[in-house]
């Protein structure tokens, strides 16, 4: 029975089949499941627990910048979307439209928000009158719907969860500063909390948010060599202010249009955590976002031993909880310790604590850390010192997962000055990675890169350090290098 179950829980090795591994990890670790509606997904408690930890910490950081939370409705009048020309062009193909309600056809169809610029700016126009009403900074945590054709759990689904911040300012400079402030909030949050190293920069015109003057991005490189956009911050200029007539009286009593930003990250960050940190055994969670940071596995063969071991395990749990560690005891019956070890490894729990009768007698336990493999992963610890040692170990694991990811990313990032070599790197199985190359900025050269290699411009670094060279495509003079990669 136990052996059968053990087999059932094994995931496809990551090195064999990345996409198969990714789905296996999500389903077997019980993070999410498919819903009966094509392209939408269910967040199971173990997956939603990661999102809650992530959300609470990011919410705290967003509020520190001065933004406050609000909530705007799911339904938006269809006419709102049409008010900003680029915005409607960008979103129309993936919008879900409600035509009937209460058994009747609606006079004006409603769209299900794909993002909330239009409804929020409609309200901003009514709330903003004077320079004293500025800056206005709101954030909302909500779901949005985009009718995607090709979907993948966490990364691209019809409905997903996110936060979207929207701000209005009196001056261009202030709005530009806000855009970059939020970019930096996202960068530090994802690097520190999710242990995912990022490339940061602005998007090319082709990759810009519909309706934005400038889009800035944080980009992660997944373990299979494909990039994932992890968050964006947009400088909207006055595009929406014009469309929704958001005006204010400045200090000299002149009527002015506001300057705006919007910024967001979504549940696709869960996909990034899986694809950056996972290994052949399954998930590896950074301790900061692990719903269970340490799991205690009591080991006993005889009933009289079991009682003693269970008692010791429970008092250990209490002392770990008192130290602020999220801890669980695995008291499931009829499963071998070996099965339980593999199961918790697959679920990505950062620290496992093994305690048996001999350990209880000796006043010690075995600690096993998920960021290492083999004998190196295990060490003994005196019972009284376990809370302090696990606290220190969790901090070390957080750091070591970031360093491992940074090493992998750097190995898989290459500079190119020859188009053929770049194209060859992007090809076939095992191909890909991040490419840093000079690009003249011409959209035609960008299109040629995409059509030849499927790679897109991921980010143009903000600081170019006075770089100059030749465009990898046309050979013309170029003053900027940009990151290109195949992306999710």
Among 83-91, 298-306, 315-323, 444-452, which window interacts with Zn ion (CB under 5 A)? Answer: 444-452
E strand or H helix at 313: helix 303-322
Closer to Zn ion at the Cβ: 189 or 416? 416
Q: How far is the CB of 477 from Zn ion (least distance, A)?
A: 9
What's the burial of 306, exposed, middle or buried (CB within 10 Å: 0-12/13-18/19+)?
Answer: middle
Pairwise CA distance, residues 406 & 400, whole Å: 10
Q: Tell me if 452 contacts Zn ion by CB under 5 A.
A: no
Question: 382 has which bridge partners?
Answer: 364
Q: Which residues contact 255 (CB under 8 A, 6 or more apart)?
A: 247, 248, 249
Closer to Zn ion at the Cβ: 101 or 443? 443
Q: Tell me if 442 contacts Zn ion by CB under 5 A.
A: yes
Query: Which x/- pattern, by CB under 5 A, does the window 368-407 give for Zn ion?
Result: ----------------------------------------
Pairwise CA distance, residues 356 & 336, whole Å: 13
179 within 8 A of 212, measured Cβ to Cβ: no
Closer to Zn ion at the Cβ: 65 or 442? 442
Closer to Zn ion at the Cβ: 409 or 458? 458
Q: How far is the CB of 474 from Zn ion (least distance, A)?
A: 3
Q: How far is the CB of 453 from Zn ion (least distance, A)?
A: 15
Q: How far is the CB of 480 from Zn ion (least distance, A)?
A: 11
In the region spanning residues 315 to 334, those forming contacts with Zn ion, defined by CB under 5 A, are: none
Q: How far is the CB of 170 from Zn ion (least distance, A)?
A: 39
Q: How far is the CB of 476 from Zn ion (least distance, A)?
A: 5
Please name which of 38, 22, 31, 23 lies closest in space to residue 157, comparing C-alpha atoms.
38
Dihedral sign (CA 104, 110, 111, 112): negative
| DSSP-derived pairing of the beta strands 41-43 and 32-34 | antiparallel
135 within 8 A of 167, measured Cβ to Cβ: yes
Pairwise CA distance, residues 90 & 381, whole Å: 57
Closer to Zn ion at the Cβ: 219 or 446? 446
Q: Of 125, 473, 482, 487, which lies in the binding site for Zn ion, with binding defined by CB under 5 A?
A: 473
Query: Which x/- pattern, by CB under 5 A, does the window 412-441 give for Zn ion?
Result: ----------------------------x-
Closer to Zn ion at the Cβ: 241 or 478? 478
Please work out the total of residues on this chain that contact Zn ion, with binding judged by CB under 5 A.
Answer: 6
Closer to Zn ion at the Cβ: 13 or 441? 441
Q: How far is the CB of 446 from Zn ion (least distance, A)?
A: 8
Among 26-34, 129-137, 207-215, 472-480, which window interacts with Zn ion (CB under 5 A)? Answer: 472-480
Among 58-66, 343-351, 408-416, 467-475, which window interacts with Zn ion (CB under 5 A)? Answer: 467-475
Q: Of 32, 190, 288, 445, which lies in the binding site for Zn ion, with binding defined by CB under 5 A?
A: 445
Pairwise CA distance, residues 317 & 315, whole Å: 5
Q: How far is the CB of 435 from Zn ion (least distance, A)?
A: 15
Dihedral sign (CA 204, 208, 214, 219): negative
Pairwise CA distance, residues 175 & 279, whole Å: 41
Pairwise CA distance, residues 203 & 212, whole Å: 11
Q: How far is the CB of 439 from Zn ion (least distance, A)?
A: 6
Q: Tell me if 471 contacts Zn ion by CB under 5 A.
A: yes
Please name which of 345, 377, 397 lies closest in space to residue 28, comparing C-alpha atoms.
345
Dihedral sign (CA 70, 75, 77, 83): positive
Q: How far is the CB of 457 from Zn ion (least distance, A)?
A: 12
Closer to Zn ion at the Cβ: 22 or 419? 419
If you write DSSP's letter for every residue of 87-136 in order, what string do you get?
HHHHHGGG-EEEEEETTEEEEEEEEEPSS-HHHHHHHHHHH--BGGG-SE
Tokens of 41: 């997904």
Closer to Zn ion at the Cβ: 351 or 437? 437
Please name which of 269, 270, 244, 267 lies closest in space to residue 257, comparing C-alpha atoms.
244
Pairwise CA distance, residues 412 & 431, whole Å: 10
Q: How far is the CB of 440 from Zn ion (least distance, A)?
A: 3
Q: Of 44, 147, 474, 480, which lies in the binding site for Zn ion, with binding defined by CB under 5 A?
A: 474
Pairwise CA distance, residues 447 & 422, whole Å: 15
Closer to Zn ion at the Cβ: 21 or 483? 483
Q: Determine the Cα angle at 335 with ends 329 and 338, to 5°.
A: 85
Query: Which x/- pattern, by CB under 5 A, does the window 342-361 give for Zn ion?
Result: --------------------
327 within 8 A of 263, measured Cβ to Cβ: no
In the region spanning residues 154 to 193, those forming contacts with Zn ion, defined by CB under 5 A, are: none
260 within 8 A of 238, measured Cβ to Cβ: yes
Closer to Zn ion at the Cβ: 407 or 443? 443
Q: How far is the CB of 478 from Zn ion (least distance, A)?
A: 7
Q: How far is the CB of 450 from Zn ion (least distance, A)?
A: 13
Q: Tell me if 449 contacts Zn ion by CB under 5 A.
A: no
Closer to Zn ion at the Cβ: 140 or 442? 442
Closer to Zn ion at the Cβ: 187 or 203? 203
Pairwise CA distance, residues 339 & 247, whole Å: 64
Interacting residue ranges for Zn ion, rule: CB under 5 A: 440, 442, 445, 471, 473-474
């Amino acid at each position: 029975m136990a052996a059968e179950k053990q087999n059932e829980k094994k995931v496809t090795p990551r090195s064999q089949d990345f996409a198969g591994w990714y789905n296996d990890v999500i389903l077997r670790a019980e993070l999410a499941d498919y819903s009966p509606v094509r392209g939408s997904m269910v967040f199971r408690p173990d997956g939603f627990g990661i999102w809650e930890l992530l959300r609470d910490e990011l919410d705290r950081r967003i509020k520190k910048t001065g933004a406050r939370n609000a909530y705007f409705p799911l339904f938006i009048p269809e006419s709102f979307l049409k008010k900003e020309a680029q915005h409607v062009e960008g979103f129309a193909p993936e919008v879900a439209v409600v035509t009937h309600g209460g058994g009747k056809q609606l006079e004006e169809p409603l769209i299900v928000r794909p993002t909330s610029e239009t409804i929020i700016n409609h309200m901003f126009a009514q709330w903003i009158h004077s320079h004293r009403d500025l800056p206005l900074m709101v954030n909302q945590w909500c779901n949005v719907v985009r009718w995607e054709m090709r979907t993948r759990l966490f990364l691209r689904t019809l409905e997903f969860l996110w936060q979207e911040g929207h701000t209005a300012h009196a001056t261009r400079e202030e709005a530009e500063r806000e855009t970059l402030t939020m970019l930096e909030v996202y960068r530090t949050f994802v690097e520190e909390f999710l242990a995912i190293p990022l490339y940061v920069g602005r998007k090319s015109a082709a990759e810009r948010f519909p309706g934005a003057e400038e889009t800035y991005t944080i980009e992660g490189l997944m373990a299979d060599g494909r990039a994932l956009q992890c968050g964006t911050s947009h400088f909207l200029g006055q595009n929406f202010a014009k469309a929704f007539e958001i005006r204010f009286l400045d200090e000299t009593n002149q009527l002015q249009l506001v300057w705006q930003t919007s910024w967001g990250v979504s549940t696709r960050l869960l996909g990034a955590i899986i694809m950056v940190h996972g290994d052949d055994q399954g998930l590896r969670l950074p301790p900061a976002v692990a719903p269970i940071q340490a799991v205690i596995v009591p080991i006993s063969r005889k009933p009289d031993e079991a009682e003693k071991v269970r008692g010791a395990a429970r008092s250990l749990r209490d002392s770990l909880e008192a130290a602020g560690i999220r801890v669980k005891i695995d008291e499931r019956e009829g499963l071998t310790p070996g099965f339980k070890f593999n199961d918790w490894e697959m679920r990505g729990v950062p620290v496992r604590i093994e305690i048996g009768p001999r350990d209880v007698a000796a006043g010690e336990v075995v600690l096993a850390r998920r960021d290492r493999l083999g004998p190196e992963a295990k060490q003994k610890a005196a019972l009284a010192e376990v809370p302090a040692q696990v606290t220190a170990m969790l901090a070390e694991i957080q750091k070591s997962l970031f360093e491992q990811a940074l090493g992998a990313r750097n190995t898989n990032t290459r500079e190119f000055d020859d188009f053929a070599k770049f194209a060859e790197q992007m090809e076939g199985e095992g191909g890909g990675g991040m490419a840093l190359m000079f690009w003249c900025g011409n959209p035609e050269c960008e299109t040629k890169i995409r059509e030849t290699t499927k790679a897109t411009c991921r980010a143009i670094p903000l600081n170019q350090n006075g770089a100059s060279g030749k465009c990898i495509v046309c050979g013309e003079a170029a003053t900027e290098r940009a990151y290109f990669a195949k992306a999710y």
